[in-house]
Structure 1
C-alpha cells in the first residue's frame, strides 16, 4: 500500500528553513501569544537578503463567463473580492511551486547527509532533532500558563498541563529543525538552476543541484498537480456561484418587467408566501432522524429546527423559481470545471499483494489515524 505522503517528505514538513520562510510554520495547535516560549539553542540566525520589490502585476483582461439572451457576462461583472481571487490565482500557484521546491531542497539535503553518514533519513532526523528535544519542566510549564492566564482561564489544570507540554515540545522541535536545515545548507552545496516559475518550463529542466544531485522540474510537476487543481477548482466554484446568481437576478428582473411589477413582488408571491412553517410532527421527525448529529434535546432546540426547515423550504422554492425562469432563456456557459489530473503513482518498491502481471492494479492511500 502506498502512503499519501512519503515518510521522507512527511519528516521535512517539519523543517522550515529560515532562508526561505518569511514566517514560522504553525504546529497545528493553537499557540497563545506569549513571550514565555521555550528557548533551545538554535544555530546563529543568518541575515536575510533584502526583499526584492514585486513587479507591478499587469491587469488581467475580463474573461467571458456566460451568455444570457445575447448578453455576455464576464469576470468584470463579478464582485471585486471574487475578481481579486481570480486575478491572484497564478501568483498563488507560483508561490506553491516555490514552496514545493523549498520542501524538495530540504528533503534532498536530508538524503545527501544521511548517505554520507551511512544511515537512513529517519535515523538522521532522530539523531539531530528528535533526540535533542528537551522535556519541559513543571516550572517551565507553570511559567507558560502564568504568562497566559487569560488563554487558560476556566480550563481543567489536568488537561492544560499536557496541552502546554505538547505545545512546548512542538516549538522545540521546530526550532531544532530550523537550525538543522541551516547547518545542512552550510555544509552541502545548493546550486540553483532554472527558475521554477519559468513559463513552459521543460520537464527535464534542472531547478537545483544539491550536493551534486539534480532536481528536475518533472518531479515537482507531479507533486503540484493536486495542489494546482484544488486552487483552480476553488476559483471556478467562486466565479460560477456568483455568475449563477447574476443570471437569476437578470432573469428575475426581465420577468418583473414583463409582469410590470417589481422583482420583490415576484419573490414575495413565488417564495416568501409559499414558505411553510413545519408542523410539530415534521420537527419531531426531523429531530429523530438526525439526533445523532444534533446537540441538545428537542425542546431546547425546537425553534432552531423550525428556522432550519423553513430555510430548507425557501431554498427549494428559490431553485424552483430559477428553473422556471430559465426554461425559455438562451443560456450558454463559457467556463467549465477544471479537469481532475491523473496522478502518476510509482508502485515498484511498495508492499503489494497478488501477481505482478495483474491486468488491474489498485493503489490504496491510507494512514494509521494516529491519535496524536
Structure 2
C-alpha cells in the first residue's frame, strides 16, 4: 500500500486560488517583518529542542463531557467505504521556538494543506513565518490577529503562549480560505468542534463551518485525545473489541456538559476505521443531516488511505507542517545572516543551580 502513495509539490494552477479576505496573511507577513526588524544586529541565542519547544496550537480547554444512557452500545454501526472520487483535503499548523534575544523569543510558524485526488497526494506549505515576541509587542500581536485569535486574552500570557496564538490564527485563516475556495470535498481538521460561548472563537468557528456547507463541503475533525467519558472510561475504549470499520454515535441528549458555557458545533462520533489502528473521536458539522454525516465518514474511508486508524491526508498535513531539526537550523542561519545577529551562548541559570533537575514550565 505504501508503494501506491504518490507525493508531489503542487504547481499553483493545481490548487484552488484563494482570492478573498487576504487581510490576515498580509497583516501576518507585515507583523513578522516588523517584529524581526527590531532585532537587527542584536545578540541571539539559538535553541533546538524539538521535544519541548514545538507547539501545534493551544486549543480551548474542553471540560469533561459525560455520556449517559444504558443503550449507548446499541448505537454502534458498521461502515461501508464509498469510493466515489471525493477530494480529501487536510489542514494542520505548528510553531516552534528557534531562539532567544535579550528582550524576547524568536519563533517560527508554518501551515500545511494536503489533498488527495485519485490516490495522488499533493501539498502546499505556508511559511515558515518568523516572529520576534516581546513583552512590549505581545498586545499588538493579539490585536492584529483579531477574530482569528480564539480567546480574548489578558496581558498575563507568557511569550510562549503568544507563539501558540499565532499558530491558531494561521490555522483558522487557512481553514476559512479552504472552506471558501473548494467545493464538494471532505475537509479534515485536527481537534474538536467545540468552543466556549465567552470566547471570540465561537463565531469564527461557526462562520468557517457555514462557508463549508455553502460550498457543499463537509468538515470532519479528528481528536487524538478527548474529554468525553462513559462511566468514567474514555469513550474511545468502547470500540476496542468491535470489528472495524465502525462508528459509535453519541446522541446529544446523552451528553452531560459540566459547563453551561461550552458549545458543541459538531455531532460527536467515535470511529474505529481499521482493525489494526487506533480509535478516535470524530466531530462532524452538526448542522448537517445525520445521513450526510455518516456518508461523509464512509466517503473518507473510500477515498483516502487509513493509516493506524487515521486519515493519511491529515497525517501528512501534520508531517509537512512540523519542524525538523534541519528546518530549525536553516531558519536560525537565515535570520542570523539576514538581520546581522550576533550568535551567543548565555548561561542556563536553571541547569547551573539544579543540574539534571533544572527543567520547568513556561512560567518558571
- For the criterion TM > 0.5, the same-fold answer is no
Q: Which bracket does the TM-score occupy, shorter chain normalised?
A: under 0.3
Q: TM-score, normalised by structure 2?
A: 0.23
* More strand as a share of residues: 2
With structure 1 as the length reference, what TM-score do the two structures score?
Answer: 0.22
| Structure with a larger share of its residues in helix | 1
